[in-house]
Amino acid sequence: MTAPESMTRKRSGGRTRLFLFGAAALLVVAGAFFSESLCPYDPYLQNLGAALEPPTAAHIFGTDRYGRDLCSRVIVGSRASIFSTLALVAVITSFGTALGLFCGWARGRADTFLMRVSDLCLAFPCLVFALAVAGVLGGGLHNAVLALAAISWPKYARIARSQTLAVRETDYLKAARLAGCSAARLAVRHILPNIAGPILVTAVLDIGTMMMELAGLSFLGLGAKPPMAEWGSMMSEVRGLLQTVPWAVFAPGLAIFAAVLVFNLLGDAVRDELDPKMKGR
């Protein structure tokens, strides 16, 4: 097999993986959006007479301590878990990219100050810092998202700044400036499209990480509050019963595992497609 044929086959295989994992991720998101319609039972209906039942044909994941069907709660909990994560990643990507682009273009004291702030955020372990911020905000799913957003943007700001510095002195950008393009037009039409690849890859790979951290905050009582169905909160409700009713913990845990796996595989496929260094491998 010649080198060009090998490269063509690798690219074709990479695009097939991207399509398959993209379709799987889209299916997960669609399932979360229509979760209420997919539930076999009311996820909030209590039946204390059927509490802590093991998995059966009627309740394939069993029931929790209030007799609620765990399969229905896992399905409806996907909406809070997945859409909160996607909103979080969208916020930190947009804010961090805009800030990094501004710093890379403007330079000066503003760049120095904002990068020192990002250094301060990066100096602390992400989840520990998020615990502190969420504790100050008072818990709740929205506050957990805000806490993670407050400490997760520096990564994107750093990437956007470094990429902006790399392209700001290129010939095509100098030509655009000589043609009279405004700073805003240069940023949106010429810089952003050329730095979007690494940022997009980082964002997709970050979905799984943010999902686990958001579930971790809920598990520790600083995220979603009962009776809201959310995977981390559901695991927290029955963590003391792990040895006696393990299915109540495993059901949301397996949901987190499956969702994170799908988005991580999608992130790897996006990286292989967009990263020039990976295309030649």
CATH of the domain at 71: 1.10.3720.10
Q: Would you say residue 145 lies in a domain?
A: yes
Q: Would you say residue 53 lies in a domain?
A: no
Quote the pLDDT of residue 259: 96
Domain encompassing residue 156: 3-47+60-279
List, as one string, the DSSP characters of the chain: --HHHHHHHHHHHHHHHHHHHHHHHHHHHHHHHTHHHH-SS-TT---GGGTTPPP-SSSTT-B-TT--BHHHHHHHHHHHHHHHHHHHHHHHHHHHHHHHHHHHHH-HHHHHHHHHHHHHHHTS-HHHHHHHHHHHHT-SHHHHHHHHHHHHTHHHHHHHHHHHHHHTTSHHHHHHHHTT--HHHIIIIIIHHHHHHHHHHHHHHHHHHHHHHHHHHHHTTSS--TTS--HHHHHHHTGGGTTT-THHHHHHHHHHHHHHHHHHHHHHHHHHHH-HHHHT-
The CB-side HSE value for 61 (13 A sphere, CA atoms) comes to: 23
Q: Would you say residue 87 lies in a domain?
A: yes
Quote the pLDDT of residue 226: 81
Quote the pLDDT of residue 21: 93
Q: Would you say residue 55 lies in a domain?
A: no
Compute mean pLDDT per 10 residues along the chain, 281 residues long, and list them.
53 79 95 94 91 91 92 95 96 95 87 89 83 86 92 93 86 77 78 89 93 92 88 90 88 95 93 66 47
Residue whose structure tokens are 């393009």: 181
Number of structural domains in the chain: 1
Q: Which two tokens stand for residue 225?
A: 């509050």
Quote the pLDDT of residue 277: 55
